[in-house]
């Protein structure tokens, strides 16, 4: 059955320009991924009449993978499938495909296709869930690859679900929230979605809803980000999540991973304590892939402060160079100060050698574009996938640029500073550097955030040791006169050991 659907899907793909599908958030799941997702459900716990939903069904590959899996392995069950789909070009194929399946399975299978907007056709009122009629909570299972599409805050779909919208909404998490809402108690949903929701600030309200009303049972990660949608070559990092509608936390979350979507014969599996995977006030979802990652999260979670508790904050560089060309200069001169780019962060220090950019200097005509020459820790905001570290930082020493009262920072740098703009003392500066430069924090950041961007909100929310410990670490780094990661790791371990004694 699935092979038939796959062929129909490929025919459709060949006839439909990619940019047109992209504008509808339409990316199709590969056959192997669809099969794997279907097999993630715990079917045996359900009674003999199964109701399943595929919202945004496309050609129906996920729904059919589910139907095929159940009909093969649980022959006593009958299935009632509901599909939502709005795209009139794909609908004839969906209809054809489901009619084909019905023809094969006869009275073991029935279905309906609802040609309407999945979000706008429901009534999302989570806080009064008890009074909602059962017709809206009718599914034992939901399987979905939702549309991945950013929408405006005033879009009717975002307004209909404002409880889960915190920043910029995206249809994918509105779909996931609605599906959880539509599930029966103890029902299960399996979704393939981008990785971004697991930590970003924009997804805070979504995480709160998802992880309060439901609990993660399994996460599946793909090591290679460019191979998930096979023919589609979607660069977005994606993951599969299985969520059960329950308030009861499981003890462990199953974390599986494969290199790509065509490699499900080699699945690596790990069981991580639920509280390691979901933790913190903002309910970040951590994605450990081995025991070492679990240990990293557990170690960092022994810290109970954040940078803010020490009066510190990671801020973003001020100068957007292509917008401020009028203030930029090619060489030094009166009222002109050094402008720093991420290229200047090297070997744990900040230099001001020619960066290879056109302008390495900035004039002080706008005071909002310059900042005091004082102690900072600089950190690159962007690193490439090939680079071994996400957190790449350097100590900025004002005395290295002693003749200048001010400096400029391009916005591709983040820097740690005092919240109130006063000056960090030396031990604190070196302590913050050592922590950010350590293997522990780099691994932690990587587990927290799959992307190559260093997001200041996330660093500001990261658990940090308290101010006195940061200083002790910094003093030891200053005395050792060694900024290497090995030395930072050694000092942090030593201080942790001493202070836990």
Edge-to-edge strand ranges of the sheet holding 49-55 = 109-114, 78-84, 49-55, 139-144, 183-194, 238-244, 215-222, 252-258, 268-273
Residue 58 Cβ vs ligand SAM, minimum distance, rounded to whole Å: 3
Beta carbon nearer to ligand SAM, 147 or 427: 147
| 95 is a contact residue toward ligand SAM (CB under 6 A) | no
Beta carbon nearer to ligand SAM, 16 or 478: 16
Sign, CA dihedral 476-444-461-279, equals negative
- R_g (Cα) of the chain, nearest Å: 26
Residue 184 Cβ vs ligand SAM, minimum distance, rounded to whole Å: 21
With tokens 């903002």, the residue in question is 282
Near ligand SAM by CB under 6 A: residue from 2, 31, 32, 61: 61
DSSP conformational letter for 249 = P
Near ligand SAM by CB under 6 A: residue from 12, 53, 58, 427: 58
Q: Which of residues 105-144 bind ligand SAM (CB under 6 A)?
A: 117-119
| Distance from C-alpha of 277 to C-alpha of 361, rounded to nearest angstrom | 45
Cβ(391)–Cβ(441) under 8 Å?
yes
| 84 is a contact residue toward ligand SAM (CB under 6 A) | yes
Beta carbon nearer to ligand SAM, 85 or 188: 85
First-last CA distance in the chain: 63
| Distance from C-alpha of 127 to C-alpha of 422, rounded to nearest angstrom | 45
Cβ(197)–Cβ(452) under 8 Å?
no
DSSP conformational letter for 476 = H
| Distance from C-alpha of 343 to C-alpha of 322, rounded to nearest angstrom | 17
Beta carbon nearer to ligand SAM, 24 or 329: 24
Beta carbon nearer to ligand SAM, 29 or 196: 29
| 87 is a contact residue toward ligand SAM (CB under 6 A) | yes
Residue 99 Cβ vs ligand SAM, minimum distance, rounded to whole Å: 18
Residues 6+ apart with CB under 8 A from 472: 427, 431, 495, 499
Count of residues in the chain:
501
| 342 is a contact residue toward ligand SAM (CB under 6 A) | no
Residue 212 Cβ vs ligand SAM, minimum distance, rounded to whole Å: 24
Near ligand SAM by CB under 6 A: residue from 71, 145, 375, 409: 145
Beta carbon nearer to ligand SAM, 55 or 463: 55
| Distance from C-alpha of 431 to C-alpha of 420, rounded to nearest angstrom | 19
Q: Which helix (H) or strand (E) holds 435?
A: helix 426-437
Residue 186 Cβ vs ligand SAM, minimum distance, rounded to whole Å: 24
Q: What angle do CA 488, 489, 492 make, to 5 degrees?
A: 85
Residue 258 Cβ vs ligand SAM, minimum distance, rounded to whole Å: 18
Beta carbon nearer to ligand SAM, 179 or 460: 179
Instruction: Kindly determine how many residues on this chain lie close enough to bind ligand SAM according to the rule CB under 6 A.
Output: 23
Residue 19 Cβ vs ligand SAM, minimum distance, rounded to whole Å: 14
Near ligand SAM by CB under 6 A: residue from 38, 52, 57, 113: 57
Q: Which helix (H) or strand (E) holds 441?
A: helix 439-448
Beta carbon nearer to ligand SAM, 5 or 448: 5
Query: Maximum CA pair distance of the chain?
Result: 86
Near ligand SAM by CB under 6 A: residue from 62, 289, 312, 462: 62
| 158 is a contact residue toward ligand SAM (CB under 6 A) | no
Residue 335 Cβ vs ligand SAM, minimum distance, rounded to whole Å: 54
Beta carbon nearer to ligand SAM, 82 or 429: 82
Beta carbon nearer to ligand SAM, 117 or 482: 117
Dig out the tokens for 160 from the structure: 């209909």
| 56 is a contact residue toward ligand SAM (CB under 6 A) | yes
DSSP letter for each residue of 161-182: TGGG-SSS-BHHHHHHHHHHHH
DSSP alpha helix (H) spans, 74-218: 91-105, 156-160, 171-182, 204-213
Per-position x/- string for 19-48, each x denoting binding to ligand SAM as judged by CB under 6 A, each - no binding: -----xxxxxx-------------------
Beta carbon nearer to ligand SAM, 65 or 307: 65
Beta carbon nearer to ligand SAM, 62 or 435: 62
Dig out the tokens for 2 from the structure: 């699935």
Q: Which of residues 177-236 bind ligand SAM (CB under 6 A)?
A: none
Beta carbon nearer to ligand SAM, 120 or 418: 120
Could you tell me whether strands 376-380 and 215-222 are parallel, antiparallel, or unpaired per DSSP bridges?
Answer: unpaired
Nearest CA among 68, 179, 165, 201 for reference residue 118: 179
Residue 90 Cβ vs ligand SAM, minimum distance, rounded to whole Å: 5
| 352 is a contact residue toward ligand SAM (CB under 6 A) | no
Residue 334 Cβ vs ligand SAM, minimum distance, rounded to whole Å: 58
Helices 439-448, 291-300: crossing angle, 10 deg rounding: 100
φ/ψ of residue 142, rounded to 5 = -130, 135
Residue 495 Cβ vs ligand SAM, minimum distance, rounded to whole Å: 48
Give the binding site for ligand SAM (CB under 6 A): 24-29, 55-58, 61-62, 84-87, 90, 117-119, 145-147
């Amino acid at each position: 059955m699935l092979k038939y659907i796959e062929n129909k899907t490929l025919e459709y793909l060949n006839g439909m320009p990619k940019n047109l599908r992209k504008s509808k958030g339409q990316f199709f799941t590969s056959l192997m991924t669809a099969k794997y997702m279907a097999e993630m459900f715990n079917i045996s716990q359900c009674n003999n009449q199964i109701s399943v939903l595929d919202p945004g069904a496309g050609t129906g590959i996920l729904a059919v993978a589910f139907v095929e899996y159940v009909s093969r392995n649980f022959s006593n069950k009958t299935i009632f499938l509901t599909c939502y789909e709005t795209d009139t070009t794909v609908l004839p194929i969906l209809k054809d495909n489901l009619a084909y399946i019905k023809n094969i399975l006869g009275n073991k299978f029935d279905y309906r296709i609802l040609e309407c907007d999945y979000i706008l056709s429901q009534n999302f009122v989570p806080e009064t869930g008890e009074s909602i009629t059962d017709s809206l909570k009718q599914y034992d299972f939901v399987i979905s690859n939702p549309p991945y599409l950013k929408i405006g805050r005033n879009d009717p779909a975002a307004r209909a679900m404002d409880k889960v919208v915190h920043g910029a909404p995206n249809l994918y998490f509105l779909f996931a929230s609605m599906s959880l809402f539509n599930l029966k108690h103890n029902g299960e949903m399996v979704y393939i979605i981008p990785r971004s929701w697991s930590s970003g600030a924009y997804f805070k309200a979504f995480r709160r809803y998802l992880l309060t009303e439901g609990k993660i049972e399994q996460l599946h990660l793909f090591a290679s980000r460019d191979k998930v949608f096979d023919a589609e070559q979607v660069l977005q990092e994606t993951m599969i999540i299985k969520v059960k509608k329950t308030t009861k936390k499981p003890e462990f979350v199953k974390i599986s991973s494969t290199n790509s979507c065509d490699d499900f014969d080699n699945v690596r599996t790990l069981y991580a304590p639920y509280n390691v995977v979901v933790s913190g006030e903002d309910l970040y979802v951590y994605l450990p892939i081995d025991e070492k990652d679990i240990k990293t999260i557990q170690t960092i979670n022994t810290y109970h402060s954040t940078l803010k508790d020490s009066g510190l904050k990671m801020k973003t560089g001020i100068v957007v160079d292509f917008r401020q060309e009028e203030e930029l200069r090619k060489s030094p001169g009166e009222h002109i100060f050094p402008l720093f780019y991420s290229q200047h962060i090297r070997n744990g220090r900040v230099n001001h050698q020619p960066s290879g950019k056109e302008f390495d200097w900035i004039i002080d005509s706008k005071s909002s574009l310059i900042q005091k020459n004082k102690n900072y820790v600089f950190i690159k905001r962007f690193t490439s996938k090939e680079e071994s570290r996400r957190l790449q930082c350097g100590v900025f020493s004002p005395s290295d640029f002693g003749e200048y009262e001010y400096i400029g920072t391009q916005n591709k740098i983040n820097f740690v500073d005092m919240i109130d703009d006063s000056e960090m003392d030396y031990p604190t500066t070196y302590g913050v550097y050592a922590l950010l430069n350590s293997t522990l924090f780099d691994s932690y950041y990587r587990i927290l955030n799959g992307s190559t961007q260093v997001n200041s909100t996330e660093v500001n929310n990261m658990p940090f040791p308290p101010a006195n410990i940061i200083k002790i670490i910094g003093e030891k780094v200053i005395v050792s006169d060694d900024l290497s990661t090995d030395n930072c790791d050694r000092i942090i371990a030593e201080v942790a050991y001493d202070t836990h004694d």
